[in-house]
Structure 1
């Protein structure tokens, strides 16, 4: 395989989400509304969890990190896409393209692992309640947080390392509104079968295994909850249901994009749009609306610092 020294492409032309001006305007307004309304809500979740003494349990610690990762993820693609809507020719440099791709998989991989950690937390809390305070102590929580950041970094750096070895000598048009593995690889002027296979194993297979593992673990947890007669049964079921909703809306598009051969389909851009722009802003909000403790703490915070 040739090395990156043979790369002559210095920039990529993004074809965008659509060529229709009316649809572009509609998407621009939609994304802007999401940013103005929902993104501050994610930061409010983080502030609420950090400031309220009643939200110190590991569950809320991980929820705060989920909000932080989702907010960070939403800054990778959407801001540049909003700016690109204002220009007829959408250009991104080779270096910026690789940087965007790196952070997309770094944050995305970390978020997927965070959902695994949250499933582990719920399993210990519901199936091993007597050991919960011992297993999920503050040191263990920070160690798990460090592990998921490290896992996201390793996952992403593998993707970048494989792409940097590919030669790009033209064409340089990316049929998307951001840089991602399937579109970038297709522009390489060499046989990419082995690289595509490695990418599918690194992204697609791991995503699918995590998804199936999470669904299986929550099935066990819900089964144990139904067998119990504790007072917190309804609350535990509500929490698990919320986690499953988040898992479905996050892993579903990722599985569609990364577990198949890198061939363009008509719905690819729509799925990518929801996966990279809409869903990251909604995940913590979905959880918050179904968690009474967080909602109550949020209203107390707003009443204290805004209303008064």
Structure 2
């Protein structure tokens, strides 16, 4: 198969989740519904927190940042997929594909960092309650979000620049519903050893450090809560962490499921279906998790509606 330089590549083909034309209307309706629920749910979170002065605290500031990130990630992936199904056109331009790769890495990395920041916020609130307002001041909160965004952006730019170096073959069909970095690299005809090494290194850094931070934060949280004498105090302390724990479990559980499915199966389509579980489902469910398990959010929704 003759290789072509990447400057000659005009477009890739996104084959989607299935080849069956009869399933396309169902997939379109399903993903459109999921996208609308994601947008509306996260917008309600943002509006509720913004309109209620009682929720102007670091925890809800980070929750709003997470909601904005979830909207951005879903908007990066789903609309293009819906347009392709509607037009019965599987193509995506080279620049569009590279942009999608970059933005997906930014927002997935941002979600990863935000979950770690939220775990640190809960650690300070429970383990150092008297110093919480001093430690988690507004400047630090904004700084933590900006640093998370900057780190994710640098990571995305590194991978995008590495992809720009690649030459691609004449077969540009991608068995996926969006341009995922690993799938794009598989289409390259040039040597991808450096790119693969970079992926493993950045994965260990950008996944290992936040996950370790979350684990250590909750080790200290649990040890502090167990020292509380009253059962009511223990329940109240654990309830403030329940929503965050559910979101963390959902995001990392689905991401781990994608990794396992990719390792045990050779089917690219199965990997594409599994990718839905970390790029679409958590972003849709996060507003429900926080609103249904949080009394303050329920009250804010009641006032808003």
TM beyond 0.5: yes
1:80 shift after superposition: 1.1
Matched, 1:268 2:271: yes
Which runs of 4 or more aligned residues in structure 1 lie more than 6 Å from their structure 2 counterparts after TM superposition?
A: 258-263
Where does structure 2 lack aligned partners over 5 or more consecutive residues?
A: none
1:8 shift after superposition: 2.2
Tell me how far apart the structure 2 counterparts of residues 228 and 24 of structure 1 sit (CA, whole Å): 55
Tell me how far apart the structure 1 counterparts of residues 16 and 273 of structure 2 sit (CA, whole Å): 11
Contact (CA 8 Å) 1:10, 1:93: kept in 2 or not?
A: yes
Contact (CA 8 Å) 1:207, 1:254: kept in 2 or not?
A: no
Aligned to 1:18: 18
CA 1:180 to 1:157, structure 2 compared with 1: closer, same or farther past 3 Å? same
After the TM superposition, which residues 292-303 of structure 1 pair with which residues of structure 2 at under 5 Å, given as runs?
292-302=295-305
Give the paired residue count: 299
Tell me how far apart the structure 2 counterparts of residues 41 and 6 of structure 1 sit (CA, whole Å): 40
| Greater alpha carbon shift after TM alignment, 208-217 vs 277-286 | 208-217
1:191 shift after superposition: 2.0
CA 1:83 to 1:203, structure 2 compared with 1: closer, same or farther past 3 Å? same
1:281 shift after superposition: 1.8
What is the TM-score when the length of structure 1 is the normalising length? Answer: 0.89
Contact (CA 8 Å) 2:258, 2:277: kept in 1 or not?
A: no
CA 1:22 to 1:209, structure 2 compared with 1: closer, same or farther past 3 Å? farther
Residues 125-149 of structure 1: CA deviation (Å, up to 9, x unaligned): 1111122111101111111111111
Structure 2 SS opposite 1:287? helix
Matched, 1:279 2:282: yes
- Would you tell me which structure has more helix in proportion to its own residues? 2
What is the TM-score when the length of structure 2 is the normalising length? Answer: 0.90
Tell me how far apart the structure 2 counterparts of residues 188 and 255 of structure 1 sit (CA, whole Å): 26
Contact (CA 8 Å) 1:105, 1:156: kept in 2 or not?
A: yes
1:256 shift after superposition: 4.9
Tell me how far apart the structure 1 counterparts of residues 44 and 71 of structure 2 sit (CA, whole Å): 11
Contact (CA 8 Å) 2:102, 2:156: kept in 1 or not?
A: yes
Tell me how far apart the structure 1 counterparts of residues 79 and 229 of structure 2 sit (CA, whole Å): 49
Aligned to 2:225: 225
Aligned to 1:251: 252
